[in-house]
Amino acid sequence: MRVLVSVASRHGATAEMGEEIALELARAGHDVHVVEPDEVEGVTDYDAVVLGSAVYAGRLAVALRALVERFGGQLRARPVWLFWSGPVGDPPLPITPPDDVHVIADAVGALEPRCFVGRIDPGVLDLSERALVALTQAPAGDFRDLDAVRAWARTVAENLTAQPV
Ligand SMILES: Cc1cc2nc3c(=O)[nH]c(=O)nc-3n(C[C@H](O)[C@H](O)[C@H](O)COP(=O)(O)O)c2cc1C
């Protein structure tokens, strides 16, 4: 199946997850296209879509939300999976999902939205981001579990194979 993977990432951690997901889907035999949300011109060419977003200040990325606003109808007409990368630390915090994740999931009919633990690299943050991290005492580090990301991608691949074309 022809699959679009579109991930909104500010500092690369979530984009790398998207690349891992794309690799797993391709390994399973799917024709995978990775396109940044702002570059997506429509989804009618795809049989299925995987959307991903980093979370900042309790919300999914603007680019992801804008993509859903532009193509909500087209997205709803095909299987869509949604993941986000947000909580950091061990145990990962915050435990609450982004404020808008259910709205976005409902808007596209996303199948089982999935949270993955993220990464904070202090070296790439701008001043306001550093201030927010200091204020919330969010721990720096790479807490991502890429094996979990790949395993999720394999379940997506299996489900895609099972979807009627
Ligand atoms: C300034 C700042 C604010 C953040 N706010 C949240 C938040 O509200 N909720 C959350 O779950 N994660 C939050 N995070 C964690 C990021 O979502 C996480 O580090 C993510 O993996 C970053 O992905 P990216 O490198 O693709 O941008 C925040 C990180 C930073 C640096």
Q: Would you say residue 139 lies in a domain?
A: no
Give the position, in ligand 1's atom list, of the atom nearest the Cα of 87. Answer: 11
Cis peptide before 37 (omega within 30 of 0): no
Radius of gyration of the chain (CA): 15
In short, whether 94's Cβ falls inside 6 Å of ligand 1 is yes
Closest CA relative to residue 113, chosen from 78, 152, 145: 152
Q: Would you say residue 136 lies in a domain?
A: no
Tell me the two tokens of residue 20. Answer: 């891992």
Residues with Cβ within 8 Å of residue 154, at least 6 apart in sequence: 24, 28
Name the domain count of the chain.
Answer: 1
Q: Would you say residue 100 lies in a domain?
A: yes
Give the position, in ligand 1's atom list, of the atom nearest the Cα of 130. Answer: 1
What whole-number distance in Å separates Cα of residue 63 and Cα of residue 92? 25
**pLDDT per residue as tens digits for the range 98-123:** 999 999 999 999 988 999 999 999 99
**pLDDT per residue as tens digits for the range 133-158:** 999 999 999 999 999 999 999 999 99
Mutational test site, ligand 1, from 51, 56, 117, 142, max ligand atoms within 8 Å of CB: 56
Strand partners, 75: none
Residue ranges making up the domain that contains 27: 2-118+144-162
Determine the distance from the C-alpha atom of residue 57 to the mean position of all C-alpha atoms in its chain, rounded to a whole number: 16
Q: Domain holding 152: CATH number?
A: 3.40.50.360
What whole-number distance in Å separates Cα of residue 25 and Cα of residue 44? 19
Q: Look at residue 165 and tell me whether its pLDDT is greater than 60.
A: no
pLDDT category, 132, cuts 50, 70, 90?
very high
Strands 59-60, 48-56: pairing is: antiparallel
Give the position, in ligand 1's atom list, of the atom nearest the Cα of 57. Answer: 8
Q: Would you say residue 41 lies in a domain?
A: yes
CA-based angle 35:33:11, to the nearest 5?
A: 40
Closest CA relative to residue 160, chosen from 4, 36, 52, 42: 4
In short, whether 52's Cβ falls inside 6 Å of ligand 1 is no
pTM: 0.97
In short, whether 118's Cβ falls inside 6 Å of ligand 1 is yes
Alpha carbon of 126 to ligand 1 centroid (Å): 13
In short, whether 14's Cβ falls inside 6 Å of ligand 1 is yes
**pLDDT per residue as tens digits for the range 26-60:** 999 999 999 999 999 999 999 999 999 999 999 99
Q: Would you say residue 127 lies in a domain?
A: no
